[in-house]
């Protein structure tokens, strides 16, 4: 059986280092916002090419703190509209709603799974104040076109980079440094994954960075001095230790993901399967390799019978979720088709070439 993702195997190369840093963590006697968090924030900012990185408890809170921070700074106000992809994971919308802003859904493009640039421009109203591009499955949204639109209409760009650690533009700029700010998740399955929940904000905006630091820690500017109605959502010191061990090999693991994806792109010849479009290889870090198939349930059963794991990212689009009834009247035909057909097949830097060949062979035999 080739599982969809073997987290134990993914983390096995780091086990000795993890045990060592755990001992350092215990010996330090400092468990909240200590040296490891500061070191990881500096290292991750340098990796992304930004001036600042601020660790948070998870990716959802990272996005929410950016939006709340811009409200504190007077750049957003309650009720402002934020444009977002209609086929994203629900967490993106929840971050916007929890900041008391209004998510405006924009239809997706079937080939790239990013939202339509034309759709973004058409959705802009007087209430629109921000665009939140989602680098879904690890592929960068069309940032040059979105930046042009944002500058034309004086809009903020807040990247949802939760699945795109290390994805680059053609001129070498990384996800997290393509807008005004970005939110990352380090959930264990991510390309840069912790051993629990974790997240971060990246930005070049010093004022925003200072506000986010306060918001994550009860709104405090110093101990027991609370300037803002903040939250308790700090990057855990132990997770920062783990992330510091994994960050140096992220680029190599992303390249291995691309190598596997390229084998899929060239090896899968089954006309019943629609492969993802990859305009530029460096712009995609293949957090997921997502194909589409009409008879999804039969295909998944076939994969299981042939020892191949799979998952669906995601079976229900946000505007059909029970948690968001105000969107139920909306129709997004492309998004709905995507959610009805997508299947994620195994793609991990720990996959052996023999396993990749086996997966390709099984997919090509599906009829």
DSSP 85-113: ETTS-HHHHHHHHHTT-EEEEEPBPTTTS
Two tokens, residue 38: 């500061």
Q: pLDDT tens digits, residue range 228-237?
A: 999 999 999 9
Q: Are 87 and 317 in contact (CB under 8 A)?
A: yes
Average pLDDT, the chain: 97
Distance CA 306, CA 358 (A): 10
Q: Can you give the pLDDT at residue 281?
A: 85
Q: Can you give the pLDDT at residue 150?
A: 98
CATH number for the segment(s) 249-365: 3.90.1150.10
pLDDT above 90: residue 278: no
State the Cα torsion 206-44-179-257 to the nearest 10°.
Answer: 180
Q: pLDDT tens digits, residue range 305-347?
A: 999 999 999 999 999 999 999 999 999 999 999 999 999 999 9
Burial letters 73-100, b for 16+ CB under 10 A, else e: eebbeeebbbbbbbbbbbbbbbbbbebe
Q: pLDDT tens digits, residue range 113-167?
A: 999 999 999 999 999 999 999 999 999 999 999 999 999 999 999 999 999 999 9
Boundaries of CATH 3.90.1150.10 in the chain? 249-365
DSSP 62-88: HHHHHHHHHHHTTS--TT-EEEEETTS
Q: Name the pLDDT band for 283 (thresholds 50, 70, 90).
A: very high
Q: pLDDT tens digits, residue range 202-232?
A: 999 999 999 999 999 999 999 899 999 999 9
Q: pLDDT tens digits, residue range 158-188?
A: 999 999 999 999 999 999 999 999 999 999 9
- Fold for domain 7-248? 3.40.640
Boundaries of CATH 3.40.640.10 in the chain? 7-248
Residues 6+ apart with CB under 8 A from 190: 162, 163, 165, 287
Give the strand pairing for 199-203 and 156-160: unpaired
Q: pLDDT tens digits, residue range 232-258?
A: 999 999 999 999 999 999 999 999 999
Q: Name the pLDDT band for 280 (thresholds 50, 70, 90).
A: confident
């Amino acid at each position: 059986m080739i599982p969809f993702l073997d987290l134990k195997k993914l983390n096995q190369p780091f086990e000795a280092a993890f045990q060592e840093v755990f001992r350092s963590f215990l010996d330090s006697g400092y468990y909240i916002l200590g040296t490891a968090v500061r070191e990881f924030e500096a290292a991750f900012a340098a990796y992304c090419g930004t001036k600042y990185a601020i660790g948070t408890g998870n990716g959802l809170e990272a996005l929410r703190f950016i939006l709340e921070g811009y409200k504190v700074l007077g750049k957003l106000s309650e009720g402002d509209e934020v444009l977002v992809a209609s086929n994203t994971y629900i967490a993106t919308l929840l971050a916007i709603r929890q900041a008391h802003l209004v998510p405006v859904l924009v239809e997706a493009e079937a080939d790239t799974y990013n939202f339509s640039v034309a759709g973004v421009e058409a959705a802009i109203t007087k209430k629109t104040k921000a665009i939140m591009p989602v680098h879904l499955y690890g592929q960068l949204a069309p940032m040059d076109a979105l930046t042009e639109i944002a500058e034309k209409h004086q809009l903020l760009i807040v990247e949802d980079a939760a699945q795109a650690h290390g994805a680059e533009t053609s001129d070498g700029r990384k996800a997290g440094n393509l807008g005004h700010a970005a939110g990352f998740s380090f959930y264990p399955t991510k390309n840069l994954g912790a051993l629990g929940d974790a997240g971060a904000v990246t930005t070049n905006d010093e004022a925003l960075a200072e506000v986010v630091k306060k918001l994550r820690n009860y709104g405090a500017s110093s101990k027991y001095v609370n300037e803002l109605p903040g939250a308790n959502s700090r990057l855990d010191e132990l997770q920062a230790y783990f992330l510091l061990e994994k960050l140096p090999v992220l680029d190599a693991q992303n390249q291995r993901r691309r190598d596997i994806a390229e084998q899929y792109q060239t090896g899968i010849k089954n006309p019943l399967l629609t492969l993802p479009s990859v305009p530029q290889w460096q712009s995609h870090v293949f957090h997921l390799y997502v194909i589409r198939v009409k008879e999804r349930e039969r295909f998944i059963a076939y994969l299981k019978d042939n020892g191949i794991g799979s998952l669906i990212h995601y079976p229900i689009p946000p505007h059909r979720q029970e948690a968001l009834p105000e969107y139920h009247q909306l129709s997004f035909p492309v998004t709905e088709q995507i959610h009805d057909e997508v299947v994620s097949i195994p793609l991990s830097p720990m996959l052996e070439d023999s396993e990749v060949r086996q997966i390709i062979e099984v997919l090509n035999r599906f009829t």
